[in-house]
């Protein structure tokens, strides 16, 4: 008998075809998000679920899915999944690292440049018919080239952002809980420093850490006060890494110059105050939103799901301890 998979939301067709070849697929072919109760109902007979970052795979939901063996997230971040609860039940959780690195780094730069050079504000100005003539001080922004970029988190995406900074002749600082090989530091001309020094010295602070207990509100009042009044905060990681109320206050009071946000504390709700601020660029969580990339992310999750259900080893386990150890492990 074929294993059963629940696909929680609309995915690219190639991923569906991969799943349908090997499994009986229960497909929710819509962009609606299921709440916990509806999710539990659909998971009753599922051996695996292919899910997205909007799906609450909490401990309670996992506990109420009696046959579940695999949770396959179409994203690299997996803070919507209680991995500890899954691990305790022997359920494999997989994600989709690698394929979205360059797209997310590109979008980080789009936000950084847009915030520094006031691109959305300038476009709004033009569309509103306010442009009369070239003025020497019209919509002037901040320098990017030659400035200091501070990366909080220096994994795949942080490093890809640093690689782009080479072209802008920037000094790159990074704060990270783990060391980076010296060869990579040299290639990217990046220097590891404590977070407080990074905040004090950077003209652009860009966040690239996953959401964990220890990174929740990593950037709050205290950290914003340490930043230069001319600096910009860029967030393409996860919203709750920033205390958004503190950020709104900091922007209103001119503690920092501006921000570029692709992620928010309670998506899709935008914290009151942010929409009114002209010096913030706001995007609806589109860091990896490139058609080829999203399609690959779907396929990666589907392939890992099929691998698990056909007795192969999934390529991207988040909790590999649940799987039999590899020979060299």
Query: C-beta of 76: minimal distance to ligand DGY in Å?
Result: 4
Would you call 208 a catalytic residue per the annotation?
no
Query: C-beta of 96: minimal distance to ligand DGY in Å?
Result: 7
Using CB under 6 A as the binding rule, whether residue 100 contacts ligand DGY is answered as yes
Using CB under 6 A as the binding rule, whether residue 48 contacts ligand DGY is answered as no
Using CB under 6 A as the binding rule, whether residue 110 contacts ligand DGY is answered as no
Query: C-beta of 288: minimal distance to ligand DGY in Å?
Result: 3
How many other CB atoms sit within 10 Å of the CB of residue 68? 23
Annotated catalytic residue, options 192, 217, 245, 285? 285
- Which of 239, 258, 287, 314 lies at the binding interface for ligand DGY (CB under 6 A)? 287
Q: Which stretch binds ligand DGY (CB under 6 A): 14-22, 35-43, 71-79, 217-225?
A: 71-79
Q: Which stretch binds ligand DGY (CB under 6 A): 69-77, 83-91, 133-141, 154-162?
A: 69-77
Using CB under 6 A as the binding rule, whether residue 155 contacts ligand DGY is answered as no
Q: Which residue is nearest to ligand DGY (CB)?
A: 77
Using CB under 6 A as the binding rule, whether residue 301 contacts ligand DGY is answered as no
Would you call 102 a catalytic residue per the annotation?
no
Query: C-beta of 282: minimal distance to ligand DGY in Å?
Result: 16
Using CB under 6 A as the binding rule, whether residue 77 contacts ligand DGY is answered as yes
CA nearest to 237, candidates 259, 258, 206: 206
Q: Are 79 and 102 in contact (CB under 8 A)?
A: no
Annotated catalytic residue, options 102, 163, 216, 267? 267
User: Interaction with ligand DGY in 212-251: which residues (CB under 6 A)?
Assistant: none
Using CB under 6 A as the binding rule, whether residue 153 contacts ligand DGY is answered as no
Would you call 285 a catalytic residue per the annotation?
yes
Q: Which two tokens stand for residue 61?
A: 């939901």
Footprint on this chain of ligand DGY (rule: CB under 6 A): 75-77, 100, 287-288
Active-site positions read: 238, 267, 285
């Amino acid at each position: 008998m074929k294993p059963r998979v629940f696909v929680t939301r609309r995915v690219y067709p190639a991923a569906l075809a991969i799943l349908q070849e090997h499994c009986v697929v229960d497909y929710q072919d819509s962009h609606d998000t299921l709440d916990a109760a509806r999710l539990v109902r659909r998971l009753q007979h599922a051996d695996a679920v292919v899910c997205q970052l909007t799906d609450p795979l909490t401990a309670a939901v996992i506990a109420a899915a009696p046959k579940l063996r695999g949770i396959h997230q179409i994203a690299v971040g997996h803070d919507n999944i209680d991995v500890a609860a899954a691990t305790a039940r022997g359920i494999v959780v997989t994600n989709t690292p690698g394929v979205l690195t360059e797209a997310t780094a590109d979008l980080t730069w789009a936000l950084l440049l847009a915030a520094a050079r006031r691109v959305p504000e300038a476009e709004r100005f033009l569309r509103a018919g306010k442009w009369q003539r070239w003025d020497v001080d019209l919509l002037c922004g901040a320098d990017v080239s030659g400035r200091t970029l501070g990366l909080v988190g220096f994994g795949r995406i942080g490093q890809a952002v640093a690689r782009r900074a080479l072209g802008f002749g920037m000094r790159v600082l990074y704060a990270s809980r783990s060391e980076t090989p010296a060869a990579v530091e040299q290639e990217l001309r990046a220097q590891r420093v404590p977070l407080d020094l990074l905040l004090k010295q950077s003209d652009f602070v860009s966040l690239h850490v996953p959401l964990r207990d220890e990174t929740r509100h990593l950037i709050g009042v205290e950290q914003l006060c340490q930043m230069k009044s001319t600096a910009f905060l860029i967030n393409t990681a996860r919203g709750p890494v920033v205390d958004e109320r503190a950020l709104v206050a900091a922007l209103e009071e001119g503690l920092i110059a501006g921000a570029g946000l692709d992620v928010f504390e309670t998506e899709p709700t935008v914290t009151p105050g942010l929409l009114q601020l002209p010096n913030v660029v706001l995007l609806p969580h589109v860091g990896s939103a490139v058609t080829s990339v999203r399609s690959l992310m779907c396929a990666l999750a589907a392939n890992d799901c099929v691998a698990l259900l056909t007795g192969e080893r999934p390529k991207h386990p988040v909790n590999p301890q649940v799987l039999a150890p590899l020979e060299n492990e």
